Amino acid sequence: MGAGDVKLMAAVGALVGPGNWLRIFVLTALIGGAIAVGTILYRGVLRRVLKNLGHILMSPFRGRAPFQDHPELDLTSGAGLSLPHGAVIALGTFLFLFATLY
């Protein structure tokens, strides 16, 4: 099991069709990105996030997975920031449907 956000997006796609699903996907990605940036700024961890991003981008050149050197990059550790994807998908879907209806 798991991957509830993927299942939710599949259910949305089954209800609205592929063309509308793509629009909802893009809207959801934009909303999720805005919320992620807001969360980073609100928590004051911009420097840490940029450092981790640099570490992730350089890891292929080091030949090691990023989480091997930084445990907070390990998705199973629970040390990183999280974002409620289901809520973002629901918000994007409702905004799209509201805009479509009115």
Mean pLDDT of the 25-30 span: 95
| Ramachandran assignment for 40, one of left (phi > 0), alpha (psi -120 to 50 degrees), beta (any other) | alpha
Question: What is this structure's pTM?
Answer: 0.79
pLDDT in tens, 71-90: 778 877 777 777 888 999 99
Whether residue 95 is predicted with pLDDT greater than 70 in this model: the reply is yes
The domain ranges of the chain are 4-101
pLDDT for 63 equals: 87
In the chain, beta strands by DSSP E: none
What whole-number distance in Å separates Cα of residue 32 and Cα of residue 79?
20
Residue 13 predicted with pLDDT over 70? yes
